[in-house]
Each structure stands twice: as C-alpha cells, then as structure tokens.
Amino acid sequence: MPKLTKTDKKPSEFDGMEPDYEKRLEVFDRKTNTNKFWRVWVYGEFVVRHWGRHGTKGQKAVHSAWNEWGAKTAALFLVDQRIWNKNYKDEAGILDRFAREVS
C-alpha cells in the first residue's frame, strides 16, 4: 500500500469539490450492537476519511500520498481492508438488508 501522511488540511477544505473516487461503507449487526459507517473520498493526492457510529458526528482525517495514483491505490486498499477484515458492506446493501429484517 502506498504510504499516506497525515496533513494539516481540514476536511471542510474539500467541500463542494468533485471527488476522483468515493466509497461509503457500513456495518450493522443487532446481535453485537454494531452500527458504524466508514467513508472515503480521494481528491487528487489527498485521501479524506470519515468514520463513526451512526447518529454521531464521527471523526474525520485528511492524508496525502505522493501522487493521485498513490491516493487512489491507498483508498482502495483501505476499502478492501474494511470489507474483508471488518465485514463492512456498501451502504445500499445494509439498508436493503435492514428493510428485509424489519418487514
């Protein structure tokens, strides 16, 4: 994975910009009371992450890579990590499953 370096940029500096890549994931499990979200956006060489428990403000961080390719590669690696190691799913998939459980 390309190395990411924490920057002093604020996530709000990217508001209104079109991301080069975006992924939204969630994990929801009633048995373990798990209800979290995780999101990532890539803007050029910057990777913006936002994570937390649903219903909270969550936390945000901005990291930089050497170049755009490095940022996209790192973001994809982080997405794979959440999906394979922490059982996150696409947001739409979680909502569909929740709707089926409720009905």
CATH of 5-102, one of 3.40.50.1820, 2.20.140.10, 3.20.20.70, 3.40.50.620: 2.20.140.10
The pTM (predicted TM-score) of the whole model is 0.84
Mean pLDDT of 92-101: 52
Closest CA to 9 of 49, 62, 67: 62
Query: pLDDT tens digit string along 48-94?
Result: 999 999 999 999 999 999 999 999 999 999 999 999 998 898 876 55
What are phi and psi for residue 19, nearest 5 degrees? Answer: -75, 150
What strands, in cross-sheet order, belong to the sheet with 46-53?
Answer: 5-6, 59-64, 46-53, 34-43, 21-29, 89-90
Sorted by where each begins, the domain ranges of the chain are 5-102
